[in-house]
Structure 1
């Protein structure tokens, strides 16, 4: 997501303030995924499942942000 977001979105739609939010959420999600992997290797399955739920929530927020940005872009180009 990171490369695609930079290549297509941040450059083309840099004037939209919301464009930076998905990038921050993406970094948060990557950190959670690293934590999940570490917990799984440590045998802490329950803790990993809790972190997975958090990562899923962040993923959902990313989708919501991208949908809002898409709506904003479509409105401006219409």
Structure 2
């Protein structure tokens, strides 16, 4: 339901404005703009977006493992 509501709100009100967009890199803002383009003909396809410079800067998925473990530990320790 939450996803449907979000899609409905975006479809009717347009893409919400980013808070503090100046904190985001130009390449990330461009990637978001390409993903969130309302005009289907102008929106990037999955194939095009996978070639975007922002994703080329991404670290390998394996770099997430220590972050996930640390988050799980933090949650476990905070619930004690």
More helix by share: 1
What TM-score does the superposition give when structure 2 sets the normalisation length?
Answer: 0.26
**Whose relative contact order is higher, 1 or 2, with alpha carbons under 8 Å and at least 6 apart?**
1
- Based on CA coordinates, which of the two structures has the bigger radius of gyration? 2
